[in-house]
Amino acid sequence: MSHTLHRIGKPADLAGDWIVLAMSARGINRRGSAARLKRFLRMSLKHGPVNFGDMRTGSSFSGDHGGLLRKISEDSLLNVVFDAETKVRAFLTELREADLGLSIVLSGLLARGCRCVREAGLSPNAFAYSLGIWGRRKKLPENHILEITTMCGHGLVSFASARRMEQEVAEGRMTAAEASARLARVCVCGAFNPVRAARLLARPRASHEGGGSSRKRSTRAAGARS
């Protein structure tokens, strides 16, 4: 899914940023899929996700877990975010054993993601690859802001909000975790990684890269298996 592919950052940092998406396909496996989607989410909770959500009803930061589960329908599109490769591998292994008959997409660093999939006993049948940012890149903000805002692939976390939260943390008016949670509430589909965001917000300002014209492409890809 392309909206989770364009997260900007260094490989060492992106190694703690993984999204597993589940959905059904109209006319193929949608009928009766609500129960299987609910099972997918319940299974994921055993592996310690840092965020999750249904694109149509909200995320773990915008509502309670029970309410989100009750609202899952055949049209739901679920995102579950993990901050460790070991958690992703364990979850994918359980998904393989459960064989829910859903379309599953893993988004993360390409080489590491392929390794996770294979070690879970799966074989990806498709890849989507981020080619980076094209166009008038000088109009974009600094990398340290894009690292935060690109975690909401639908663009709901604004540059101004990220800058404001960064300022609040730097001046001690808010902890990095509090600022991260505030940003996560805006990302309704639950693809935002609050653990990574808190780490980014807590960085000393001296470590921020200068300039807005240099954009290093992160090697991310998503593999889908129905």
pLDDT per position as a tens digit, 32-56: 999 999 999 999 999 999 999 998 8
Confidence band for 208, pLDDT divided at 50, 70 and 90: low
- 2-131+217-225: CATH number: 3.30.70
Q: Tell me the CA distances in angstroms from 212 to 136, 142, 166, 209, one per residue in order.
A: 10, 4, 17, 9
Region 143-165: mean pLDDT is 95
Does the CA dihedral 57-174-50-155 come out positive or negative? positive
Region 140-159: mean pLDDT is 95
Structural tokens at position 163:
């800058």
Given the DSSP bridges, would you call strands 78-82 and 18-23 parallel, antiparallel or unpaired?
antiparallel
Q: Parse the chain into domains and list their residue ranges.
A: 2-131+217-225, 137-207
By percentage, how much of the chain surpasses pLDDT 70?
Answer: 90
Question: Residue 115: what residue type?
Answer: R
- Give the total residue count for the chain: 226
pLDDT per position as a tens digit, 107-129: 999 999 999 999 999 988 888 88
pLDDT at 7 over 90: yes
